[in-house]
């Protein structure tokens, strides 16, 4: 299973480790993913999603229904 947020589509970025001598080696910046259950009152059911920490902040701000609606429109959520 790839490390991609199901609501925002965030995935790992690539960058460089930079030493004091300015030597550069490739590294990967992983997404801060968490497996979390959310209750959807409109459908009266629980769903389990792998979401990033920033997606959880969006859910706290806007609500799970609004965030899932945006994710469906952008094509990240297929359910």
Question: What CATH number has the domain bearing residue 54?
Answer: 2.30.170.40
Residue 63 belongs to a domain: yes
Question: 77 pLDDT band (50/70/90 cuts)?
Answer: confident
pLDDT above 70: residue 10? yes
Q: Could you report the per-residue pLDDT of 11-41, keeping only the tens digit for each?
A: 999 999 999 999 999 999 999 999 999 999 9
Residue 36 belongs to a domain: yes
Residue 39 belongs to a domain: yes
Give me the number of domains the chain comprises. Answer: 1
Residue 5 belongs to a domain: no
Residue 79 belongs to a domain: no
Phi, psi of 34 (to 5 degrees): -135, 145
pLDDT above 70: residue 79? no
* Residue span of the structural domain in which 30 resides: 13-74
Can you give the pTM of this predicted structure? 0.83
CA angle 17, 29, 76 (to 5 degrees): 155
Residue 3 belongs to a domain: no
């Amino acid at each position: 299973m790839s490390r991609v947020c199901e609501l925002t589509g965030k995935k790992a970025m690539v960058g460089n480790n930079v030493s004091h001598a300015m030597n550069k080696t490739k590294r990967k910046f992983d997404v801060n993913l968490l497996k979390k259950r959310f209750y959807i009152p409109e459908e009266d059911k629980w769903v389990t999603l792998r979401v990033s920490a920033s997606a959880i902040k969006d859910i706290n701000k806007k609500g799970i229904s609004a965030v899932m609606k945006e994710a469906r429109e952008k094509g990240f959520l297929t359910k």
